[in-house]
Amino acid sequence: MGRSSIPPFPPALDAHLSLRKLSAIEHLMIAVVSAAYDDLRSTDMRQRDTAMRYFFSDPETHVLSFPSVCRHMDWSMSALRRRLVGSFGIDSPVLGGAEAAEVL
Q: pLDDT tens across 8-43, in order?
A: 566 655 555 554 678 889 889 999 999 999 999 899
Total number of domains constituting the chain: 1
pLDDT at 6 over 80: no
Confidence of residue 60 (pLDDT cuts 50, 70, 90): confident
CA trace torsion 26, 29, 30, 34 (10° rounding): 170
- To the question of pTM greater than 0.75 for the whole model, the response is no
Q: Is residue 77 part of a domain?
A: yes
Q: Where on the phi/psi map is residue 64: left (φ > 0), alpha (ψ -120 to 50), or beta? A: alpha
Q: With beta carbons less than 8 A apart as the criterion, state whether 29 and 69 touch.
A: yes
Q: Is residue 3 part of a domain?
A: no
Q: Is residue 9 part of a domain?
A: no
Q: Is residue 44 part of a domain?
A: yes
Burial bucket for residue 95 (CB in 10 Å: 0-12, 13-18, 19+): buried
Among 80, 73, 72, CA closest to 36: 80
Which residue range(s) make up the domain with 75?
21-103
